[in-house]
Amino acid sequence: MEFGFTDRQTAFRNEVKKFLDRELPSEYDLAVINPAEDRYRDDVWELQKSLARKFGEKGWLKLSWPAEYSGKDNDPFLYYILQEEIHYRGAPGWDGFTIGMLAPTLIRFGTEKQKEQHLVPIGKGEIFWCEGFSEPEAGSDLASIQTTAWEDGNNLIINGQKIWTSGAHRADWCFLLARTDPSSPKKHMGLSFLLLDMKTQGISVRQISDMGGGHNLCQVFFDDVKVSKDNILGQPNHGWEVAMVLLDFERGLDIGPISTMRRIYDILVNYARENDLLNNNSVRNRLIDIYIDVETATLLSYRAAWIASKRMTPTGEVSISKTFSYEAQKRAAGNAMTILGSYGQLTKGSELARLNGLIQRWYVETFAFTLFTGSSEIQRNIIATRALGLPRA
């Protein structure tokens, strides 16, 4: 891995910064708008759609795509720089499910018809996708999926439900796993990876309130939902392979949360400076600990991104990056809460809350970080078997 950025990469970072300065409302700031909590709010969602289309017009949503799909020879690392700057500002417009996960999976497994149908609007920022994986009885043990998709001529009929589906109430399409062959000898076999229009008859969505005050998580119910077999991504009954590749893209190639942590670190340093806390050894040590975590997490993510930019699959590296960075955010949020003291526990809207309740919201959110996209325990198993070649326990 080469350290440092090329002149082109540095120029692109500056271009993105200027673009965000110009396009974001003047009052827009991470300490005011919480991306996780407010992203799907009506006014923010309108900004999300507007910025996504502008990113698309610039070709920024296709930065990691091969030239045959993007139309030009891109530097794939520009894709990660774009993510860094967007998330550092807490800006909308970037959809990880669509751009970071589904698009590269479509490029790898999709038919020409599927690529033509979906990659064009994705690259223009015109559509948004959600992920239909988790179920009431299939979370960490994802292969226990019970949603079914039985053959009906040239179609499949889907019945079942998904849970913890982020943004399902806003999404245009959903990619999901469903069981298409119940006779398979192993539960991770007999699953198919499906592409489903959320306007299809028989789909209903129910929002869930989370402990951070957000409403972006949803339950999705499928009642005799008809979908063409042409909407199977990859081979029928081999959806597990497709899903595992997609999850590799999700786990380690999303540098966004690390950039959010870096921004919060900068906010905390400024807070400590304004409140004469920089000479307090306890505060200094906690700021240093956060900084160490930020820098280490960034380099681990860069390594996974660099491997991916060489058109290789960084399976072990993404699990290492995901495990460290998400656990680091829990540590950092705890340190941030200690720096603010009792004021850090106050929520957004309280007149005594520091930083508009930013740290309280972040602290609560980080408890979910080590669970979704595969818990830390699952990531350690992946590291053991795929990176170290150890036998399965």
Residues serving a catalytic function are 250
What is the C-alpha separation between 313 and 240, in angstroms, rounded?
A: 16
What is the C-alpha separation between 20 and 3, in angstroms, rounded?
A: 26
Place of tokens 């502008």: 54
Structure tokens at 72: 């030009």
- Which amino acid would we find at residue 138? A
Surface-to-core class of residue 191, CB atoms within 10 Å of its CB (0-12 exposed, 13-18 middle, 19+ buried): buried
3-state SS of the chain: helix, strand, coil percent to 5?
A: 55, 15, 35
Q: Name 131's bridge partners.
A: 175
SS3 182: coil
Q: Kindly write down the DSSP assignment for every residue of 301-326, as one continuous string.
A: HHHHHHHHHTT---HHHHHHHHHHHH
Number of Cβ within a 10 Å radius of residue 265 = 19
What is the C-alpha separation between 154 and 179, in angstroms, rounded?
A: 17
Please provide residue 275's backbone torsions phi and psi, each rounded to the nearest 5 degrees. -110, 20
Task: Name every residue whose Cβ is closer than 8 Å to that of residue 78 and which is 6 or more positions away in sequence.
Answer: 8, 9, 12, 63
Please provide residue 233's backbone torsions phi and psi, each rounded to the nearest 5 degrees. -95, 125
SS3 178: strand
What is the C-alpha separation between 108 and 101, in angstroms, rounded?
A: 11
Place of tokens 């063409």: 228
Q: Name 195's bridge partners.
A: 175
Sign of the C-alpha dihedral, residues 355, 358, 359, 361? positive
